[in-house]
Chain A
């Protein structure tokens, strides 16, 4: 029990009367002997008291009335559903038109003889680079990084990094939402065929021209060129959005000092505790059972009298880049990390589409309100918020929620 080293934690728990009786006695004895900790305690206690004594800021006088007006503005109108439906139809027509243009462009491209050479340069399969996207296309969840589990069995070495070898699994530079990224299997094609009725036969007959080819090679550049050459950059609807989730094990001693080191490590690499969005709180983390109930942890299991090792797990939110090198970085901190599960992608395209529909609806309402000379500030504010949420969803691809489980040495 190093009171000096962990003085901030002990002081904080002491101020909130959360220390065990025995620990408190030892702590107070240490305070008598250590002037530095004593000074810290005095300052911390004073500041906490000062904050608690700050007067409540009174509510602005017009708050209630203003809020009431805004609530009235956004409350449901009778023709709202109908307009959403008609808007959806318009979007569907726009999507079909876009898809038709896409297919026509494909045909035009394929008629050019010099382009055939690009289609035949895909290199042979590399088992590490194959994406097992066919495993669960319907469920919207695709499992990646089977190599991680395999290499754990072998040596445990580089299990997190192997995913990078293909270059396909965690693309560093995410293409814009107008570019087709996900490379699936044959199962993807029927969905596209629905939107390209007139040319589906061509797609079948010319496997090289598949929009979604198998990831059978590690020639990322060629694959990318194939994609870009074959598919002009056109917006929706084939772009998909997904969040990433992974589980890892951290070996800890009985004292649990590794947990504090882990926290420092995570702070240093810029990882954060995930903020569970209330609107789609389960959307970003797939339900794997156990402790994750829509993002709220089972606090009954995690209550601790000390801040050390009663935790089952901790969640962190970090970039895929950081995650790729996490094992090595952790080793530099003296921590041993192994992959517990494959990295799971959860399809959040439906949430994206929902927000996009909402935003389009709001944009229409703003246009109507402007024409009618009405105040649009509330609608604009809502539109801005929707834009933010959409941006957040789009950026989910570059991030990963990592659940760190603790296993005793």
Chain B
């Protein structure tokens, strides 16, 4: 989207134009949903909180001063929304693993259509489940960092803008997060990962 077009949509959205707002942020629906899904491990919560992200963005678009990109701004809202949701529901222990969700089936369908072979499909699904399980056990701030860096592929500068922290802080947080994820995945799961790693 060109900058001029984006600016014009932003002006209209600030005036309450829903169509302009949807055009401005529509291309980020999937990315924001993915952040929420990875953070919350649950498609229902992810959908709800992703929508909440855009509702808040629409409500507070007048406060968006344009000192960062629209994507960074949306990711910032999404991560805050998810962290707030996790904090609020910390006492409610829910089983985050889902069996045969819509996403699982979709992935399985894609795997079948690409004909990876049953062993490869099983391997991929096992890895996917292991990562999802490990993510759900991580400290939520470490989880957020891993999602932004390793899943979403944001640069250190983009992450620094998203979480409003210096790049130095981002570096140390990424290393801590990766260390935690490695401990969760590699300890006690020799049958799953050491076969692949070694």
Contact = CB atoms under 8 A, between A and B. Distances in A.
Whether chains A and B associate is: yes
Interface of A: 8-9, 11-13, 15-16, 18, 40, 42-44, 46-48, 50-52, 54-60, 63-64, 66-68, 70-72, 74-76, 263, 272-273, 275-279, 281, 293-297, 299, 302-304, 307, 310-311, 314, 381-382, 385, 388
Shortest beta-carbon contacts, A-B, top 9: A51-B150, A12-B175, A302-B166, A276-B164, A8-B179, A9-B175, A8-B175, A307-B171, A297-B166
Contacts of B172: 9, 263, 307
Which of B38, B151, B153 gathers most chain A CB within 10 Å? B151
Contacts of B175: 8-9, 11-13
Contact of A296 (B55, B63, B153, B164): B164
Contacts of A279: 60, 63
Given A12-B174, A51-B150, A388-B84, A66 B164 contact: no
A104 to B, nearest CB: 40
B128 interface: yes
A59 B33 contact: yes
A310 B161 CA distance: 18
Nearest to A297: B166
A319 to B, nearest CB: 16
Interface in B49-82: 50-52, 54-55, 58-60, 63, 65, 67-68, 73, 76-77, 80
Interface in B160-178: 160-161, 163-169, 171-176, 178
A51 B185 CA distance: 12
A239 to B, nearest CB: 24
Contact of A57 (B103, B186, B198): B103
Interface in B3-60: 16, 18, 21-22, 26, 29-30, 33-34, 37-38, 43, 46-48, 50-52, 54-55, 58-60
B197 A59 contact: no
A51 B77 contact: no
A310 B168 contact: yes
Contacts of B161: 296, 299
B131 interface: yes
Most buried by B among A16, A50, A75: A50
Given A11-B175, A43-B186, A54-B151, A64 B29 contact: yes
A8 B176 contact: yes
Given A12-B171, A51-B151, A58-B103, 7 more contacts: A9-B175, A52-B150, A58-B30, A273-B165, A273-B173, A277-B80, A304-B168
Interface residues of B, number: 75
B131 A50 contact: yes
B178 A278 contact: no
B176 A302 contact: no
A84 B115 CA distance: 61
A55 B63 CA distance: 34
A54 B58 contact: no
A230 B37 CA distance: 53
A40 B55 contact: no
B60 A8 contact: no
Interface of B: 16, 18, 21-22, 26, 29-30, 33-34, 37-38, 43, 46-48, 50-52, 54-55, 58-60, 63, 65, 67-68, 73, 76-77, 80, 83-84, 88, 102-103, 106-107, 110, 127-128, 131, 141, 146, 149-151, 153, 156-157, 160-161, 163-169, 171-176, 178-179, 181-182, 185-186, 193, 196-198
A63 B168 contact: no
Contacts of A381: 48, 52
B168 A55 contact: no
B144 to A, nearest CB: 10
A240 to B, nearest CB: 24
A74 B55 CA distance: 8
Contacts of A294: 65
Nearest to B21: A71
Given A63-B29, A63-B47, A63-B51, A50 B168 contact: no
Contact of B18 (A42, A56, A68, A314): A68
A56 B30 contact: yes
15 contacts: A8-B176, A13-B175, A43-B186, A54-B151, A60-B47, A64-B29, A74-B58, A76-B16, A273-B141, A275-B164, A296-B164, A297-B165, A297-B166, A302-B167, A307-B171
Contacts of B193: 43
